[in-house]
C-alpha cells in the first residue's frame, strides 16, 4: 500500500507542521494568514519560553528556539503569502536512540513507526512524533492569536494551567515527582484551558463543531489521551436540573458553565473551558520488559536519552496554542 502522508490541518487557516526531532529543523507553514499583521521574532518569545524545559521533571535538552521566517513576512508584517517559520535543531544526541529500532519502547512509537515506514523510520529523538514538533505548533498558535485579535477586534484572554500531576493537585506534586524521578519513572497530568472574550456564534452544528475541531487539534498533541469540555465526564452523574446552565442575561450569560461555553457546537458567549489528560512519559529509565526483534525475546530495556519525566509540565502553552489554531478557523 502506498502511504500518502496527511500532515496539514485546517481550511481557511491551514497549518502544516514539518521536521524531525534530530533533523535540521522543525517548522510550520501557515496559509491563509491575512496581510498586514505585525510579526517579529520577539512576538514569539513569551509562548516559546513557556514551552521551554526548565523546571524539575523536564528534559535537559537545551535549544535556542529562535524562529526564522523563511517566507510570508516583509517589513515586519505578514505579506499575505504562505508564512513559513523554522526552528533549528542544534542540540541532538542521536546515538541514544540506536537500539530502539529493534528493542521497542513500550507505549512509544518505535514499533508502529518501524512497521509503517520500515527501514526509513526516523526514530532519532522520536523523529516526527517527538514533543519537539509542538514548538512549531506553539508558533502557529502565536500567529492564530494575532489573527483572532485582528478579526474579532478584541484581545481574547487565554489561560492554561496544570491542575494535577500524578493524580494529586498541582503544587502538592513535588514529592511524588521527586520519587518518580529517583525511581527512573514518569508522571502524567491534567491541564485546564479557558478562553474569555469569545463572541456568541463561532462553530458549526455538526462536523465543525467547536468541540470537534478543538479536539482534533488537541489529540494531535503527542501524549494527549483525553479531552473534556465543561463538566465533561462528570455530566454523566449529574441530573438535568444540576447540569443545565440557566441563562441570566440578554447576552446569554449563564449562572453555571457546565457546557464549557459551547452549546450545539457553537460558542454561547460564556467562558470556553476544557481539560486535557497528558499521559506519563513513555521513555523511562527503569527496566521494562519488551520485545526485542534482534534476539526474538522479551527482554529488559532501560531507555537512554534525555526525557521529560512529566510532559504535562511543559504542555499548557501547547494546549492553548492548539485552541487558538482551532478558533482561528472560525473567524476568517
Ligand X SMILES: Cc1cc2nc3c(=O)[nH]c(=O)nc-3n(C[C@H](O)[C@H](O)[C@H](O)COP(=O)(O)O)c2cc1C
Which residues are near ligand X by CB under 6 A? 59, 108-109, 126, 129-131, 134, 221-223, 279, 281-283, 307-308, 311, 314-315, 318
Toward ligand X, which CB reaches closer, 140 or 282?
282
Among 110, 128, 121, residue whose Cα is nearest residue 293: 110
Query: Nearest approach, Cβ of 26 to ligand X (angstroms)?
Result: 12
**Gap between the Cα atoms of 20 and 207, Å rounded:** 31
Query: Nearest approach, Cβ of 1 to ligand X (angstroms)?
Result: 22
Toward ligand X, which CB reaches closer, 131 or 261?
131
Query: Nearest approach, Cβ of 64 to ligand X (angstroms)?
Result: 17
Among 91, 132, 129, 88, residue whose Cα is nearest residue 112: 129
Whether 127 contacts 304, CB under 8 Å:
no
- CA 202, 206, 209, 213 torsion: positive or negative? negative
Instruction: Judge residue 28's burial from the number of C-beta atoms within 10 Å of its C-beta, 0-12 exposed, 13-18 middle, 19 or more buried.
Output: buried
Toward ligand X, which CB reaches closer, 192 or 308?
308
Toward ligand X, which CB reaches closer, 270 or 283?
283
Among 137, 115, 114, residue whose Cα is nearest residue 18: 137
Query: Nearest approach, Cβ of 79 to ligand X (angstroms)?
Result: 31
Query: Nearest approach, Cβ of 66 to ligand X (angstroms)?
Result: 18
Toward ligand X, which CB reaches closer, 31 or 63?
63
CA dihedral 136, 198, 208, 50 (to 10 degrees): 20
**β-bridge mates for residue 77, sequence order:** 38, 74
Toward ligand X, which CB reaches closer, 131 or 136?
131
Question: What cell does 279 get?
Answer: 499521559
Query: Nearest approach, Cβ of 316 to ligand X (angstroms)?
Result: 10
At residue 6, φ and ψ (nearest 5 deg) are: -130, 95
Toward ligand X, which CB reaches closer, 221 or 323?
221
Which region, left, alpha or beta, applies to residue 10 given φ > 0 means left and ψ of -120 to 50 means alpha?
A: left
**Gap between the Cα atoms of 288 and 294, Å rounded:** 17
Instruction: Tell me the residue nearest to ligand X as measured from the CB.
Output: 131
Query: Nearest approach, Cβ of 265 to ligand X (angstroms)?
Result: 25
Amino acid at each position: 500500500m502506498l502511504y500518502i502522508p496527511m500532515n496539514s490541518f485546517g481550511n481557511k487557516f491551514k497549518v502544516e507542521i514539518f521536521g524531525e526531532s534530530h533533523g535540521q529543523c522543525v517548522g510550520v507553514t501557515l496559509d491563509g494568514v491575512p496581510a498586514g499583521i505585525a510579526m517579529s521574532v520577539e512576538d514569539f518569545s513569551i509562548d516559546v519560553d513557556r514551552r521551554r524545559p526548565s523546571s524539575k521533571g523536564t528534559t535537559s535538552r537545551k535549544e535556542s528556539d529562535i524562529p526564522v521566517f523563511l517566507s510570508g513576512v516583509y517589513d515586519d508584517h505578514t505579506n499575505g503569502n504562505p508564512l513559513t517559520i523554522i526552528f533549528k535543531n542544534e542540540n541532538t544526541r542521536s546515538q541514544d536512540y540506536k537500539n530502539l529500532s529493534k528493542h521497542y519502547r513500550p507505549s512509544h512509537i518505535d514499533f508502529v513507526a518501524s512497521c509503517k515506514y520500515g527501514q526509513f523510520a526516523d526514530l532519532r529523538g522520536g523523529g516526527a512524533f517527538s514533543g519537539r514538533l509542538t514548538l512549531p505548533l506553539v508558533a502557529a498558535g502565536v500567529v492564530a492569536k494575532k489573527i483572532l485579535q485582528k478579526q474579532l477586534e478584541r484581545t481574547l484572554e487565554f489561560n492554561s494551567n496544570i491542575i494535577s500531576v500524578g493524580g494529586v493537585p498541582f503544587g502538592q506534586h513535588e514529592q511524588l515527582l521527586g520519587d518518580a524521578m529517583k525511581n527512573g519513572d514518569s508522571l502524567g497530568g491534567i491541564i485546564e484551558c479557558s478562553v474569555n472574550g469569545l463572541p456568541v456564534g463561532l462553530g458549526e452544528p455538526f462536523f465543525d463543531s467547536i468541540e470537534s475541531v478543538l479536539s482534533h487539534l488537541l489529540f494531535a498533541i503527542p501524549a494527549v489521551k483525553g479531552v473534556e469540555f465543561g463538566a465533561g465526564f462528570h455530566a454523566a452523574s449529574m441530573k438535568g436540573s444540576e447540569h443545565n446552565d440557566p441563562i441570566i442575561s440578554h447576552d446569554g450569560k449563564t449562572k453555571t458553565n457546565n457546557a464549557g461555553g459551547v452549546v450545539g457546537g457553537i460558542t454561547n458567549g460564556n467562558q470556553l473551558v476544557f481539560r486535557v489528560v497528558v499521559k506519563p512519559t513513555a521513555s523511562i529509565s527503569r527496566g521494562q520488559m519488551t520485545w526485542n526483534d534482534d534476539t526474538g525475546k522479551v527482554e529488559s530495556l532501560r531507555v537512554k536519552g534525555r526525557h521529560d519525566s512529566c510532559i504535562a509540565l511543559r504542555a499548557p502553552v501547547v494546549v492553548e496554542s492548539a485552541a487558538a489554531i482551532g478558533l482561528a478557523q472560525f473567524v476568517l
